[in-house]
Amino acid sequence: MFFKKKYCPTCKKHDQLYRRLDVKERAVVEERHRGQTDLWRCTAEGCRWYQPWSHQRGGAKLPEDFKNPAPDAAGK
């Protein structure tokens, strides 16, 4: 895993944990970011923000289906 701390414009918070997009997520944004693998998403609850690592303006929100679940929803 490649967690790092970064600003998230959706959460409006600094030091958010990001991780690389997984295979499914990357498939969704493939058309917009063809061949680009340096894509990361915020892991905060309810957040769908993703972006190229060093290019915030190149980011966007993932579809609703990829919204991060609440922490206590995982085991239910």
Residue ranges binding Zn ion (CB under 5 A):
8, 10-11, 42, 44, 47, 49
Q: How far is the CB of 8 from Zn ion (least distance, A)?
A: 3
Q: How far is the CB of 35 from Zn ion (least distance, A)?
A: 25
Say if CB 6 and CB 12 are below 8 A apart: no
Q: Please, which residue, 11 or 28, has the CB nearer to Zn ion?
A: 11
Dihedral angle at the C-alpha atoms of 2, 62, 75, 22, nearest 10 degrees? -40
Q: How far is the CB of 43 from Zn ion (least distance, A)?
A: 8
